Structure 1
Amino acid sequence: MTEIYETQSERTDLPLVVMPAVLDAMIEPIKAQFPALHDVARVRMFEEFTSDEAVLAERLKNADALLVGGYHISDDLLRTISEQGHVKCIVFCGTGVASYINLELARELKVRVCNAEHYGDHAVAEHTFALLFELIRKVGQLDKDVKAGNWAWAGGDGLQLAGRRMGIIGLGGIGTTVAGIARAFGMEVAAWNSHVPAEHFERSGSVPVDDLNELIETSDVISVHLPLNDATRGIVTAENLAHLQPGTMLINTARSEVIESGALFARLQEGDIPAALDVFDHEPLTVDDPICHVPGIVLTPHVGWRTDGAFKELTRQMIACMNAYFAGEDYNVVVSEH
């Protein structure tokens, strides 16, 4: 039976905030934030993760606001909870809300949508290097070999980061953090100069490169950190990827959709580009997905953002969004209800 955690249940005069599904790792961090809603709103959290929309809709009956944790809101569910219910504010547990909710439909329905910003800069940047180190040092495979009694050095010779060039596509909070780590490893760092404030280059020590093809062609490692929005969807094209030189390593911990659909898989099929991905066109991946069978590829299940520090800051911002909504203020608003 699903555990239900509630606060101020007797305060029926207060609006109701419902979290109809929650990731296990978020339960304690977000509980620690609920006191900030004292005398502002009641909270009802179902301590079980599900993406079953019939279940979500049932749990959201009588809700005034919704906390979303790790599942997609279909257009049908969005219409159900806004038109047939009372939900007029949705707070998403992350930055890339456009991948999970139809923002244009939310705007039509006059539902406020909020997200969290920069909560996972360090988490995603660190995961970027976890993926990169797996490509250059193959620690996971070597661990298996040693435990299997294989002490042979075959495959154990790695690549060195110091002296190599990191090319960053997307020099925001995460990209800037990646740049700092790369420089600490002795790498030269360059970044695509696409609507990036000059201070980002100054702060990160990155060299601006105006032409994306030039950045891709002259880098030893390409790391993607663009947010997903209407302007960035498919912005990295097949023509851009054609400029990858054999042996260039590609890391994507941003969103799969910022790369032209099908372009990355087609380029990887040539077999000369080591790649590590944390994001995909369809999640979760199935074992028969073609991307799983690209030789040498490293894949993780969209976990770059999941660290203790990121959960703490993420949940703080989620509750801050709720407080602002009920106070008639704005905080991390992506779509306004007005």
Structure 2
Amino acid sequence: MEIYETQPERTDLPLVVMPVIIESMIEPFEKNFELLKDIARVRMYKDFTLDEDTIVERCAEADVIMVIGFHCADSILDRLNAKCYAFGGTGVASYIDLDKAKERGIRVCNVVHYGDHAVAEHTIALLMELARQVGKLDRQVKTGDWDGADGYELYGKKLGIIGLGGIGQTVARIAGALGMNVSAWNSHVPEQVFADLNITPVNDMNELIAGSDVVSIHMPLLDSTKGIVTAENLEALKPGTMFINTARAEIIEPGALLARLQRGDIPAALDVFEHEPLTADDPLCSIPGIILTPHTAWRTDGAYVGITRQVVQSVAAFCKGEDFNVVV
């Protein structure tokens, strides 16, 4: 196993361990480790595994752990003594138990606004796939089938956005350029945002959902947003309404989305799930007309630049007794 290390002789410095890494993120991380010179030593394992025992073994001596791509379950927290977890994403609550971390005096950091364009573009890619079925058509042609399929024109259709932060606003801009009519749930969003982006505010979530041809979720996962989209809200989906979630599955009441989709009248595209990684025998995989991607909306070259920089900055701040992107 190849291991990348900085200042290994400086045993007087805190040890920062990255137990697994996505290959395409190695180079951007290496470029940022200079920020930790004379502050901390780094040990980065240049492979990717979800095996919990391997992760724990690699992090046994760590003072700080960089969490990239794996869920830091309670069973991992309980077996380690690290005092800071630097998470390479925004919605850290679905990867680390924040209450447990707080009880144990563990700092948890995240990264912010690194992937507004990355996630928004993936959202639009999913929307286009639902509307024009490019993947299906590609498979048809390659097997000698020239039947094709009817497309769904997005121009003039109504997009309802739940969550109008950086990602939601970026989706709104792109959808507006496509000629869609954009509305959004009016939840703690400044009036000027709606005015600047020509978005119609809707106070009632049921009304927003019922009046949309496409519904897209873009809320962050917080205590206040967990399960905020209820089974009752999903009842407002008209048959044929396209439903997209690139935020977090936990935004939706547990089990509610599966129950709604199993009726078979809602084309949906999902990048996030209640249990990850999704297994082939998951009920979602057997529903016709559903597009599933493996939580990859955030994974772009541009997003990696922001992620790696902020993760290293949060580690440097912790080691220097400062604050940067602290969640708990």
Indicate whether the TM-score tops 0.5. Answer: yes
Deviations 1:142-198 (A, max 9, x none): 111112222224x2x211111111100000111010000000101111100112233
Which residue does the alignment assign to 1:109? 104
- Is the contact made by 1:236 and 1:258 (CA closer than 8 Å) also made in structure 2? yes
Paired with 2:19 and 2:114, the residues of 1 have a C-alpha distance of: 22
Deviation of 1:203 after TM superposition, in Å, equals 3.6
Which residue identity does 1:130 align to in structure 2? A
Deviation of 1:263 after TM superposition, in Å, equals 1.0
**1:80 partner SS:** coil
The aligned runs of 1:78-93 (5 Å cut-off) are 78-82=77-81, 87-93=82-88
- Structure 1 residues 268 and 76: alpha-carbon distance in aligned structure 2, compared to 1, 3 A threshold: closer
Which residue identity does 2:267 align to in structure 1? P
1:259 and 2:252 aligned: yes
Paired with 1:41 and 1:231, the residues of 2 have a C-alpha distance of: 35
1:332 and 2:325 aligned: yes
The aligned runs of 1:65-214 (5 Å cut-off) are 65-82=64-81, 87-153=82-148, 155=149, 157-214=150-207
Paired with 2:104 and 2:198, the residues of 1 have a C-alpha distance of: 44
Deviation of 1:201 after TM superposition, in Å, equals 2.0
**2:239 partner SS:** coil
The answer to which of 199-208 and 229-238 deviates more is 199-208
Which residue identity does 1:56 align to in structure 2? I
Paired with 1:20 and 1:203, the residues of 2 have a C-alpha distance of: 43
Paired with 2:259 and 2:76, the residues of 1 have a C-alpha distance of: 35
1:54 and 2:53 aligned: yes
Paired with 1:199 and 1:27, the residues of 2 have a C-alpha distance of: 40
Paired with 1:204 and 1:287, the residues of 2 have a C-alpha distance of: 40
* TM-score, normalising length: structure 2: 0.97
**1:333 partner SS:** coil
- Is the contact made by 1:177 and 1:204 (CA closer than 8 Å) also made in structure 2? no
The answer to which of 251-260 and 262-271 deviates more is 262-271
Number of aligned pairs?
328
Which residue identity does 1:206 align to in structure 2? I
Deviation of 1:72 after TM superposition, in Å, equals 1.3
Deviation of 1:61 after TM superposition, in Å, equals 2.6
Deviations 1:261-293 (A, max 9, x none): 111111112221111111111111111111111
Deviation of 1:79 after TM superposition, in Å, equals 2.5
Which residue does the alignment assign to 1:22? 21
* TM-score, normalising length: structure 1: 0.94
1:223 and 2:241 aligned: no
- Is the contact made by 1:172 and 1:200 (CA closer than 8 Å) also made in structure 2? no
The aligned runs of 1:307-318 (5 Å cut-off) are 307-318=300-311
- What is the CA RMSD across the aligned residues, in angstroms? 1.2
Which residue identity does 1:135 align to in structure 2? L
Paired with 2:246 and 2:294, the residues of 1 have a C-alpha distance of: 10
Paired with 1:9 and 1:187, the residues of 2 have a C-alpha distance of: 55
Paired with 2:280 and 2:53, the residues of 1 have a C-alpha distance of: 27
Paired with 2:115 and 2:196, the residues of 1 have a C-alpha distance of: 18
- Structure 1 residues 61 and 262: alpha-carbon distance in aligned structure 2, compared to 1, 3 A threshold: closer
Deviations 1:226-251 (A, max 9, x none): 11111111111111111111111100
Which residue identity does 1:237 align to in structure 2? T
Deviations 1:309-338 (A, max 9, x none): 111110011011112112222111000xxx
**1:309 partner SS:** helix
Deviation of 1:123 after TM superposition, in Å, equals 0.6
**2:78 partner SS:** helix
Structure 2 unmatched runs, 5+: none
Q: Identity of counterpart residues, as a percentage?
A: 62
**1:159 partner SS:** coil
**2:55 partner SS:** helix
- Is the contact made by 1:95 and 1:117 (CA closer than 8 Å) also made in structure 2? yes
1:235 and 2:228 aligned: yes
The answer to which of 175-184 and 70-79 deviates more is 70-79
Which residue does the alignment assign to 2:11? 12
Which residue does the alignment assign to 2:30? 31
Paired with 1:273 and 1:42, the residues of 2 have a C-alpha distance of: 51
**1:90 partner SS:** strand
Runs of 4+ in 1 over 3 A off after TM superposition: none
The answer to which of 143-152 and 231-240 deviates more is 143-152
Deviations 1:109-140 (A, max 9, x none): 10100001111111110000111111110001
- Is the contact made by 1:254 and 1:279 (CA closer than 8 Å) also made in structure 2? yes
Paired with 1:199 and 1:38, the residues of 2 have a C-alpha distance of: 43
Structure 1 unmatched runs, 5+: none
